[in-house]
Amino acid sequence: MAKTQKTVSIRLESEDYNFLRDLAEADKEDLSTALRDLVARGRVLLGLERYREGRASLSKAAEVAGLSVSEMMDTLAVHGIDANLRVEDYRESLQTLREIW
């Protein structure tokens, strides 16, 4: 199922616009696609950072990153970040199981 999209107008510094344009051209994409890719990657990095700093639980970091918890665990491993599961992570997992069942 396709995700709903919203249109956004933003202002960029010339340097950032030129970077985005060059990135899009190099990848043979349009500006919108390149920007969506950057946002997706930024979400993952933000989720990783918040988890590593202890500012987010595993499930919250996964939500920020736009990933499932299992995908987030794989992403943590790829980036060499230990998955220090906390009691909160187990509680959130149990709550998710209750909602599913």
Find the mean pLDDT for residues 52-80. 93
Q: What is the pLDDT of residue 1?
A: 66
Total Cβ atoms within 10 A of residue 6: 4
Rounded-to-integer distance, Cα 89 and Cα 85, Å: 6
First vs last Cα of the chain: how many Å apart? 23
For residue 97, pLDDT beyond 70: yes
State the pLDDT at residue 99. 83
Residue 13 lies in a domain: no
Domain containing 66: what range? 19-100
pLDDT at 88 > cutoff 90: no
User: What domain count does the chain have?
Assistant: 1
Residues 6+ apart with CB under 8 A from 71: 62, 65
**Has residue 94 got a pLDDT over 90?**
no
CA gap 2, 19 in Å, rounded:
29
Indicate whether 34 belongs to any domain.
yes
| Per-residue pLDDT tens over the stretch 3-57 | 888 998 999 999 999 999 999 999 999 999 999 999 999 999 999 999 999 999 8
Residue 92 identity: E
* pLDDT at res. 95: 82
- The answer as to whether 2 is a domain residue is no
